[in-house]
Structure 1
Amino acid sequence: MARYALHLSFDGDPRRLAARPAHREHLRRLKEEGRLVSAGPWADDSGALHVYEVADEAELREILRRDPYTAVDAYEIVLLKEWTPIM
Structure 2
Amino acid sequence: MKKTFKITVQEGLHARPATILVTTVSTFESEVSITYKKKSANLKSIMGVMSLAVSPGSIIEIAAEGSDATELLDKVTKVIISQGIGEEC
TM-score normalised to structure 2 length: 0.50
For residue 51 of structure 1, report the CA deviation from its aligned partner: 0.8
* Structure 1 stretches lacking a partner, 5+ long: 79-87
Among 75, 79, 85, the residue aligned to 2:86: 75
**Percent identity between the aligned chains?**
10
Structure 2 match to 1:11: 8
- Structure 2 alignment gaps of length 5 or more: 38-51
Whether 1:21 and 2:19 are equivalent positions in the alignment is yes
Say how many residue pairs are matched: 69
Structure showing the higher helix proportion among its residues: 1
TM-score using structure 1 length:
0.51
Residue pair 1:11, 1:74 contacting (<8 A) in 2 also: yes
CA contact (8 A) 1:36 1:50 kept: no
Q: Which has the higher strand share?
A: 1
CA distance in 2, matches of 1:56, 1:38: 11
2:32 and 2:82 mapped to 1: Cα distance? 23
